[in-house]
Amino acid sequence: MTASAPIAQPKRWLKPSVLPGFGLTFGLTLLWLSVVVLIPLIALVIRPWEMGLERFIDLASRPRVVAALRLSFGTAAAAAAVNLVFGAIIAWVLVRTEFPGKRIIDAIVDLPFALPTAVAGIALAALYAPNGWIGALLDPLGIQVAYTPLGIFVALTFIGLPFVVRTVQPVLEDIDADLEDAAASLGASRLQTLARVIAPALAPALLTGFALAFARAVGEYGSVIFIAGNIPQVSEIAPLLIVIRLDEFDYAGAAAIGVFMLAVSFAVLLALNLTQRWARRATGNES
């Protein structure tokens, strides 16, 4: 076949289609996205440059700010780690066992998504206060949860729970039963199969679930502030400090913390994206 005269089309950014409405829908999408999300976020992101990078760094490195950021990231990581373990167990139970009421349990896992955070916040505070149902049990043991960093950890564990379960569950469902049977037929023990066949297949989902739970927990506000006690440099989380700065009309101070948090959550998501891409290439599946 000889190549005929190259009348190849210039590369168009939009592939032509007979379906109508692209201009309208794409235009509206872009407009709305810009007005509601992009322009406001840009306004935040360029604040540090508006006020001068030095001032920004100064604001973001005050002891109270550093303490708040450290507390937020630390408790979020701890809560996400606990959710990693229990999320995996719950997902396993939901996929691999049968018991009466399982479907209800399956549905209830999403409650932290659906329950307004303020409601969760006051409920947890009431439970873990020294005179609350759980607090009263822990008090004699000398354990205080409410109004301490431990309380923050409890609240963040509550809101992060569904993330790990809901990312691991579908992957676990998709793991081919034959794979395990094959491993068993090749002489692998149950534990070996678990460690060498199932764990690697679940690893990307576990990581994703952890990162999502972490990202959510870092920014969480409503469920935390009621139980935290909010003592500066002890149990004051970063989002709360933003609110306090705003109440003081200290926009620069609020923006400095906000930018920093935004940067970290993007970094987490970016890292996550890259690992997922890497995992996809390594295993050659998962869309």
Q: Which of residues 115-154 bind another protein (CB under 8 A)?
A: 115-120, 122-124, 126-127, 132-134
DSSP 139: G
Q: Binding to another protein (CB under 8 A): which residues in 175-214?
A: 177, 180-181, 184, 190
Q: Smallest gap, in angstroms, from Cβ of residue 125 to another protein?
A: 8
Whole-angstrom Cα Rg for the chain: 24
Cβ burial, residue 229 (10 Å; 0-12/13-18/19+) = middle
**Binder of another protein out of 164, 215, 228, 279 (CB under 8 A):** 215
Q: Smallest gap, in angstroms, from Cβ of residue 31 to another protein?
A: 9
Q: Does residue 221 interact with another protein by CB under 8 A?
A: yes
Q: Smallest gap, in angstroms, from Cβ of residue 184 to another protein?
A: 8
Distance between CA 237 and CA 73 in Å, rounded?
Answer: 9
Q: Does residue 157 interact with another protein by CB under 8 A?
A: yes
Q: Binding to another protein (CB under 8 A): which residues in 33-72?
A: 33, 36-41, 43-44, 47
**Binder of another protein out of 71, 78, 228, 254 (CB under 8 A):** 254
Distance between CA 277 and CA 287 in Å, rounded?
Answer: 10
Of the candidates 227, 262, 226, 223, the one whose C-alpha atom is nearest the C-alpha of residue 242 is 262
Closer by beta carbon to another protein, 161 or else 228:
161
Phi/psi region, residue 83 (left: phi>0; alpha: psi -120 to 50; beta: rest), is alpha
Closer by beta carbon to another protein, 17 or else 54:
17
Q: Binding to another protein (CB under 8 A): which residues in 5-24?
A: 6-9, 11, 13-22, 24
How many residues belong to the site for another protein (CB under 8 A)? 107
* CA-angle at 172, arms to 170 and 178, nearest 5°: 125
Do 124 and 151 form a contact (C-beta atoms < 8 A)? yes
Sorted by sequence, the CB contacts under 8 Å of residue 156 that are 6+ apart come out as 75, 76, 78, 79, 80, 217, 220, 223, 224
Q: Smallest gap, in angstroms, from Cβ of residue 233 to another protein?
A: 19
Closer by beta carbon to another protein, 53 or else 107:
107
Stretch near another protein under the rule CB under 8 A, chosen from 60-68, 111-119, 142-150, 278-286: 111-119
